[in-house]
A and B are shown apart, each in its own frame.
Chain A
Amino acid sequence: MKYIEKTPNSEQLKYANIIKKLDPLVRPESIVVRVPDTAEATAQYEATLAAAPNNFERKKVERNFQLEQMVWQHLVQVQFELISVDFEFPIYFELIPVTSPAGTILESTINTVVNTSMQPEFLGRIFEPAPLRQIWVYVIARSLRLKDPLEGNFDLERYKNGEFSIAQLISELKFKVGPKFIEITAYREHPVPFDQDPEKDLIEPIIMDKEVINGLADLKYRSENKFKPIDLPKNNLKVDFIQTECVGCILPTPEKHEFLQFGDFQVPIKGSLFPTVKRIVAIMNKVARL
Chain B
Amino acid sequence: MNDLRDIVLKDWEKEKMSYEDDYYLPEGHPSAKYQRQKREKIIKAVTKYLKLDSPPPFRFLGLNPSKYILQLVRSKEGKPVETVKKIDQRIQQVVGAATDYDKMIFDLNGVIKRLVYTDRLIKTEGLFEFAIYDQWTALFDFSVSDPLIFGRTAEKEMHGGGYYCFAPLNFPLSHLESMIEMEYLGRTTDNVYLDLIQTDAMLKIMDGIRYTKEALDNLRIMLLLSKDKEETGIEIIEKLNQNKNLTKKMQSIGHFGAVVQGLSKFKSDTDISLVYLPLKSHSFVHLVNFETDKHDKALDALFSFANTLQNI
Q: Is the CB of B123 within 8 A of A241?
A: yes
Q: In the complex, how many residues of chain A place their beta carbon closer than 8 angstroms to a beta carbon of chain B?
A: 24
Give per-residue flags for B170-183: 1 if the beta carbon is below 8 A from chain A beta carbons, else 0.
00000000000000
Question: Do the beta carbons of B7 and A54 come within 8 Å of each other?
Answer: no
A130 & B234 in contact (Cβ 8 Å cutoff): no
Q: Which of B190-198, B224-232, B281-289 lies at the interface?
A: B224-232
The reply to whether A54 and B13 contact each other, CB–CB distance below 8 Å, is no
Complex Cα distance, B14 from A187, in Å, reads: 13
Residues of A within 8 A of B230 (CB): 55, 59
A169 at the binding interface (Cβ < 8 Å): no
Tell me the bound Cα distance from A54 to B123 in angstroms. Answer: 37
Secondary structure type dominating chain A contacts: loop
**Using an 8 Å CB-CB cutoff, how does the interface string of B144-178 with A read, 1 for contact, 0 for none?**
00000000000111000000000010000000000
> Interface 1/0s, chain B 60-92, versus A by CB < 8 A?
000000000000100000000001001100100
B10, B90, B211, B218, most chain A CB atoms within 10 A: B10
Partner of B90, one of A99, A132, A187, A238: A132
| In-complex Cβ contact of A241 among B93, B127, B269 (8 A) | B127
Q: How far is the CB of B112 from chain A (nearest CB, A)?
A: 28
Contact of A54 with B232 in the complex, beta carbons under 8 Å: yes
Please tell me which one of the listed residues A64, A129, A132, A187 contacts residue B87 in the complex, with CB atoms under 8 A apart: A132
- Chain A residues 204-246 with CB under 8 Å of chain B are 234-238, 240-241
Given contacts A54-B232, A60-B217, contact A132 B83 (CB under 8 A): yes
In the assembled complex, which residues on chain B have CB atoms less than 8 Å from the CB atom of A127?
127
Check if B224 sits within 8 Å of A237, measured CB to CB: no
Q: Which residues of B contact A99 (CB under 8 A)?
A: 213
B232 in complex: contacting residue of A55, A100, A130, A187, CB < 8 Å: A55
Question: B113: shortest Cβ distance to chain A, in Å?
Answer: 31
Q: Check if B216 is an interface residue, CB within 8 A of chain A.
A: yes
Residue A131 is within 8 A (CB to CB) of chain B in the complex: yes
Residue of A nearest to B167 (CB): A56
Nearest-CB residue, chain B, relative to A226: B125
Bound complex: CA of A236 vs CA of B125, how far in Å?
14
Given A54-B233, A56-B225, A234-B155, verify A131-B90 contact (CB < 8 Å): yes
Most chain-A Cβ atoms within 10 A of its Cβ — which of B126, B221, B232? Answer: B221
Q: Which residues of B contact A235 (CB under 8 A)?
A: 155-157, 269
| CB contact under 8 A between A56 and B90, given known A101-B211, A101-B213, A131-B13 | no
Contact A241:B125 (CB < 8 A) given known A59-B221, A101-B216: yes
Chain B nearest Cβ from A289, distance in angstroms:
41
* Chain B CB within 8 A of A63 CB: yes
Q: At the interface, yes or no: B212 with Cβ under 8 Å from chain A? A: yes
What is the 8 Å Cβ interface bit string for chain A, positions 49-69, against chain B (1 contact, 0 not)? Answer: 000011110011001100000
* Contact, CB under 8 Å: B225 / A130: no
Docked complex Cα distance between A241 and B123 (Å): 9
Asked if B269 contacts A55 (CB within 8 A), the reply is no
Q: Are B225 and A59 interface neighbours, CB within 8 A?
A: yes
Taking CB as reference atom, which chain B residue is nearest A101?
B213
Query: Interface size of B by Cβ–Cβ distance < 8 Å?
Result: 37
Q: Are B90 and A63 in contact (CB under 8 A)?
A: no
Q: Give, as a whole number of angstroms, the nearest-CB distance from A62 to chain B.
A: 9
Q: Contacts A132-B83, A235-B269: A63 and B224 contacting too (C-beta < 8 A)?
A: yes
Q: Of B7, B157, B216, B220, which contacts A130 at CB under 8 A?
A: B7
Given A101-B216, A131-B13, A241 and B126 contact (CB-CB distance below 8 Å): yes
Chain A residues in 8 Å Cβ range of B168? 56
Q: How close is B243's CB to chain A, nearest CB, in angstroms?
A: 18
Q: Does residue B138 face the partner (Cβ distance < 8 Å to A)?
A: no
B74 nearest CB across to chain A (Å): 12
Contact assessment for A54 and B90 in the assembled complex, using a CB-CB cutoff below 8 Å: no
- Smallest CB separation, A128 vs chain B (Å): 9
Quick one: given A54-B233, A132-B90, are A187 and B156 in contact (CB under 8 Å)? Answer: no
Report how far A239 CA is from B13 CA in the complex, Å: 27
Instruction: Indicate if the CB atoms of A63 and B221 lie closer than 8 Å.
Output: yes
Q: Which residues of B contact A132 (CB under 8 A)?
A: 83, 86-87, 90
* Chain A residues, CB < 8 A from B221: 56, 59-60, 63
In the bound assembly, the distance between CA atoms of A60 and B216 in angstroms comes to 12
How far apart sit A173 and B222, CA to CA, in the bound complex (Å)? 32
Tell me the minimal C-beta distance from A210 to chain B in angstroms. Answer: 26
13 contacts between A and B (CB under 8 A): A56-B234, A56-B237, A60-B218, A63-B220, A99-B213, A130-B7, A130-B90, A130-B93, A131-B72, A131-B90, A131-B94, A236-B157, A241-B123
